[in-house]
Amino acid sequence: MATPLAQRKRQLVQDELTRAALGLLAGKGFEAVTVDEIVTAAGVSRRTFFRYFASKEDVVVQFLGDMGTGMCAELAIRPAHEPPSVALRHAVSVSIDACAGHDDRSLRVVRLILGTPALLARFLERRAHWRDELAAALAHRLRLDPVTDPYPHLAAGVALAAFDTVLHQWSGSNGTADPAALTDRAFTVVAPALDAVGQPCGPLSAGSVP
């Protein structure tokens, strides 16, 4: 088992590879950047790169990796009395902030993902996992059976469609649009459908099953 020091060193190397790769990919475009350029910029070997990532696509997937986890974690701590639309808006806002709340590189990376078919395909693949995770969290929150009740998967899909719309509008504005205002507007539109299930009845107690 790796020691905490070894884990920190691994994380530092991975962070530096990610930083170097995203900077190059955002600046030059996905097809124009080679793995050799990434490792040169990061000051590591090709062998080290492939110890952390299987491909250039995987570097960008790493950028996206924690978003779904962040959404589910935020949804889990929202107050039990909140309508689904409010809880989901806050959950989605966590990932919107992760994309839009940082420097100009984040905008360029988002535009790279949305404009590169290979990266968009990986993004949509990851997004499908987020939908399943959000659906499970919603089913738990609302005491619904996700196998027999269509609401959790439909609501998760609607929330992620709002997320997609906000990303497209924000990146299309070259980062000038306010992501919080875009998110509020998107959820104002979809709130009636999300809240059709009624008010949440509170999270389940530990160890219980819907």
pLDDT over 50 (residue 102): yes
- Closest by alpha carbon to 146, among 130, 135, 133? 135
Give residue 168's domain range.
55-195
Q: What is the pTM of this model?
A: 0.78
Specify the residue for token string 């993004």: 123
User: pLDDT tens digit string along 112-130?
Assistant: 888 888 888 888 888 899 9
pLDDT over 90 (residue 207): no
| CATH number for position 146 | 1.10.357.10
* pLDDT > 70 fraction of the chain, expressed in percent and rounded: 90
Alpha carbon distance 36, 46 (integer Å)? 7
| Residues 6 and 82 grouped into a single domain | no
| CATH number for position 40 | 1.10.10.60
Name the band, by pLDDT with cuts 50, 70 and 90, for residue 1: low
| Residues 96 and 69 grouped into a single domain | yes
Name the band, by pLDDT with cuts 50, 70 and 90, for residue 203: very low
| Residues 26 and 70 grouped into a single domain | no
What pLDDT score does 208 carry? 41
What pLDDT score does 143 carry? 92
pLDDT over 90 (residue 110): no
Helices of type H across 29-143: 35-42, 46-52, 56-77, 84-100, 104-115, 117-142
Position 205 in a domain: no
In this structure, the dihedral spanned by the alpha carbons of residues 136, 138, 142 and 147, taken in order and rounded to 10 degrees, is: -40
What pLDDT score does 104 carry? 73
User: pLDDT tens digit string along 37-79?
Assistant: 999 999 999 999 999 999 888 888 777 766 788 898 999 999 9
* pLDDT > 90 fraction of the chain, expressed in percent and rounded: 48
